[in-house]
């Protein structure tokens, strides 16, 4: 499966309320392609506040994410690994079905009660997104071969 990686650093983000927003993302392909987006890695360093755990929420367009209490996907669960440093609690296996025409990405940090954390208390944040492209031609051919065998 073809894949690309997109690195997001707090240095390129704008603070909007309690969110970090990355604008003007690089164009990943010439056409709108379906893909799975996974957080390959994320590290957050707080300058003062140290919650017990941190949930990372992103405003990605999704085709396979549903929740009883929010519309934007929770993409990672972080726990403290050192003084004020938070890293993934589990390896990320959640693949968000989306497309690669991302104009901007908005990120929120939440505590375990789903209350937004103040991003002004974040000293640094680095995120690596893995974008795995779906081979739609292969899927169509597989579907067609299945249908002809049924007929």
State yes or no: pLDDT of 19 exceeds 90: yes
Residue 120's SS3 state is helix
Residue 14 tokens read as 């704008």
Q: What average pLDDT does range 12-26 have in this prediction?
A: 90
Q: What average pLDDT does range 61-75 have in this prediction?
A: 78
State yes or no: pLDDT of 85 exceeds 90: yes
State yes or no: pLDDT of 24 exceeds 90: no
State yes or no: pLDDT of 143 exceeds 70: no
Residue 137 tokens read as 């031609």
Looking at the chain, the whole-number percentage of residues with pLDDT higher than 90 is 42
State yes or no: pLDDT of 73 exceeds 80: yes
| C-alpha separations of 118 from 6, 8, 56, 72, 123 in Å | 24, 19, 13, 18, 11
Q: Which residue has the higher pLDDT, 110 or 71?
A: 110
Query: Sorting pLDDT into bands at 50, 70 and 90, what band is 144?
Result: low
What distance in Å separates the CA atoms of residue 89 and residue 83, rounded to the nearest whole number? 15
H/E segment holding residue 17? none
| C-alpha separations of 3 from 33, 37, 56, 127, 131 in Å | 12, 10, 22, 16, 5
* Alpha helix ranges (H) inside the chain: 136-150
8-state DSSP, 26:
P
State yes or no: pLDDT of 138 exceeds 80: no
**Which has the closest alpha carbon to 60: 107, 118, 27?**
107
- Position 91 scores a pLDDT of 81
């Amino acid at each position: 499966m073809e894949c690309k990686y997109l690195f997001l650093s707090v240095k390129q983000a704008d603070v909007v309320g309690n969110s970090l927003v990355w604008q003007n993302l690089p164009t990943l392909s010439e056409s709108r392609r379906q893909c799975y987006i996974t957080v390959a890695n994320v590290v957050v360093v707080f300058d003062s506040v140290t919650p017990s755990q941190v949930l990372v929420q992103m405003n990605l367009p999704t085709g396979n994410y549903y929740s009883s209490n929010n519309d934007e996907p929770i993409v990672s669960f972080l726990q403290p690994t050192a003084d004020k440093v938070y890293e993934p609690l589990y390896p990320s296996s959640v693949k968000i079905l989306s497309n690669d025409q991302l104009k901007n990405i908005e990120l929120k940090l939440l505590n375990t009660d789903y209350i937004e954390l103040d991003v002004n208390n974040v000293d640094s944040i680095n995120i690596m997104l893995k974008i795995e492209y779906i081979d739609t031609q292969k899927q169509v051919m597989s579907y067609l071969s299945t249908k002809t065998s049924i007929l």
